[in-house]
Amino acid sequence: GQQVMQIPQYQHVQEGEDFTTYCNSSTTLSNIQWYKQRPGGHPVFLIQLVKSGEVKKQKRLTFQFGEAKKNSSLHITATQTTDVGTYFCAGGPNYGGATNKLIFGTGTLLAVQP
């Protein structure tokens, strides 16, 4: 079945350093979403990308959707302690527009040391 993998599984950075997590799907996606889960919390939606090659920014966060719509990345510039948490990508399968569920990636846990 379809799989969505993320690397790295875990990243520990010093506050102020940059961070990137990569998301790779075994099949083409109709769209990609990113969620953040704080420790002890539940996933919260960050952003959605739909177009091939799309890039979106939210303050220090930059999201990219690959040209082939099979991979995505999230880059955080100058991390802060508030960035701590697990970042999940989630892909919408490309079934020609048919309704379907999201496939969540394996997640990347970010730890930020002050």
Partner 1 sequence: GAGVSQSPSNKVTEKGKDVELRCDPISGHTALYWYRQSLGQGLEFLIYFQGNSAPDKSGLPSDRFSAERTGGSVSTLTIQRTQQEDSAVYLCASSLKLLASTDTQYFGPGTRLTVL
Summarize as ranges the residues that interact with partner 1 (CB under 8 A): 30-31, 33, 35, 41-45, 48, 50, 88, 90, 92-93, 99-107, 109
Q: State the CB neighbour count (10 A cutoff) for residue 51.
A: 10
Minimum CB separation of residue 66 from partner 1 in Å reads 17
Residue 3 or residue 18: which is nearer to partner 1 going by CB? 3
Q: Nearest to residue 101, comparing CAs of 31, 25, 26?
A: 31
Residue 84 or residue 102: which is nearer to partner 1 going by CB? 102
3-state helix, strand, coil in the chain (%, to 5): 5, 55, 40
Please tell me the distance from the alpha carbon of residue 105 to that of residue 58, in angstroms, as a whole number: 21
Map tokens 């959707």 to a residue.
65
Residue 5 or residue 17: which is nearer to partner 1 going by CB? 5
Minimum CB separation of residue 79 from partner 1 in Å reads 21
Minimum CB separation of residue 50 from partner 1 in Å reads 7
Minimum CB separation of residue 92 from partner 1 in Å reads 4
What does residue 80 show for φ and ψ, rounded to 5 degrees? -125, 165
